[in-house]
Structure 1
Amino acid sequence: MIFGFPALFLHLLTILILGMLTGTVMASLLVRLVASRLPHYHLAIRRNLLWVFAVFPLFAGVAAALLSYLPEWKPQANLWLADIIHWHHAYLFSPASWHGVFLLFCLIGLLALFAWRGWQGVSEVQRQQLLGLLSERDKDGLAELDTPVPMAFVAGLWSPKAYITRGLASRISAKERRVISLHEQAHICRRDPLAKFAFSLLTCLYPPGVRRFLQAEFELAIEQLADEWVVQRYPQPAIIAQALLQVEKIAVNAQDRQADDAYSYFARHAVERRVHHLLGVSEYRALPVVTVVVLAISATLSSAAGVDVLHHLFETLFLH
């Protein structure tokens, strides 16, 4: 049996994990609700919403832990918090109880997840070193790889570099190569491979279908932002769109089209939507900030209440 502040810390850690799980459920429901509307929002709104969805499970867990601790700090808070979340015997923690078993399994799972992601990061560094050895530096900022597979991409988390294969370089014009070079430099300046990796890590708790949707929309958003970056430096959106379509046409029969968390490819993500965005064909709608704030607060409180429901459910199952 553990007493005092160590017990309180372990309880808060348990609540945080439960809050992340209930927050994931609430956010998944919201994603299902807005999935059909998301493409119709402005690019900046979409990007911000996607980051909100990514960090919400962690935010919900922290909020649940803080709300649980609030009565210990300010007892009068229990008057309005009692109907949302309350935790008994906060200064008494039994490792042999369901709290202890649940916390142990969750910590093992989190450590395994971080170890796996860490291994992916190390593997990415090794792959980037290998690409550096196999490539040749070109004057336009693209390192050329001697392979017939047509593709252009940025690889690397901490020091990203842009690559183009000879299979693509030999089949495009000078203007198209210029557009590709600017696009890949946009990914480097914005550190998009690292952002993509962080987003994939934050969304790893979501169900597979929701996770794939969020990651696909995020990848599309960073590609469209890179397209906008190119337009600012090469203000001919029609030529940029033409280059995008040409590269997609060349690459459509490529064999290896497997996505990677640390890579940003020139023509892989929803080409039609990117072209419409470049040419100004798409019509976007606004999303009131008040709506987002109200939904976020409601989802956070619902997640905290869900922690209390799960707590009492487990107590009933294992103690009665």
Structure 2
Amino acid sequence: MSAEPYTRDVVGNVSTVSNALIDNVDRVIRGKRHEIRMALCCLLTEGHLLLDDVPGTGKTSLAKAIANSIAGGWKRVQFTPDLLPTDITGVMVYDQRSGLFAFREGPVFTNVMIGDEINRGSPKTQSALLEVMEERNVTADGTTRPVPRPFFVIATQNPRDFQGTFPLPDVQLDRFAMRLSLGYADADTEVSILESFDRARVDDELEPVTDPHELDRVIDAIDSITVARSIHQYIVQVATVTRRHPDLRLGVSTRGTLTMLRVARAYAATDDRDYVTPDDVKALVGPVFGHRVALSAEAELRGTAVETLIADITDSVPVPRTSGA
């Protein structure tokens, strides 16, 4: 049997699952189908998602809607300055009846963990997520325990200049596959939201449209999407420019290029294609690479915007000539 029919079946399955998820989440987050698609491309590769925007734009609602659309477990953690690392990962507790210590699992032992306003947690608490986000394991009292698969962290944060926030460490930002901003709704969409406003929380009433087992199969199957060598080279060339750019003190890591590869495959599959194009990479550079770079002190003083710099870097790299098929 040739690989082509198998790949088309994979694309069809990914497209079916993603469209069902987009339609379901769109019932809550209106007028943001592109952003919803981008978020689901992140999750369909078992990546972690950072929603970065001002208050009131629907960050938490999007996270809850995605979690409710998956027939698996999900838990929410409200990050505060006094939150402890063990409040997230779990803690050893003494059982008086047995006279033994037992591990009490924290909220990371689920399929989807929503970290609400993650940058209000202290750096010590934020670091508790480093191991589980990368290795899908939690080590406590010398014992390593795996979390359920698939495992996603969907975190929300307010801009860093808001009071009471701590900047996320670079090593933690690098563990998020994507950073997205929803932005304000357009005028017509906001009017329709006001007209249909109901106190009932629709996002809590969403019926699941997929389950962890199906998502796990999709995550594994996305690796079969074709990526030409020229696309691999294109991704690395863009990353290399960020590592050498004088306005950046930190460039894109190899983890970042690997993430781009997987997310680009998912992006192509949700567009009903079994191959990746340069346009897929260009569309994803901002969300996948933008939070992985850091401006130099001089660039910050000049007021350089990371988004503009990343766009200029991408435009400076020649686009490969390939059909991708």
Q: Check whether TM > 0.5.
A: no
Give the TM interval when normalised to the shorter protein: under 0.3
TM-score, normalising length from structure 2? 0.27
TM-score, normalising length from structure 1? 0.28
Q: Rg larger in 1 or in 2?
A: 1
Bigger share in helix? 1
Bigger share in strand? 2
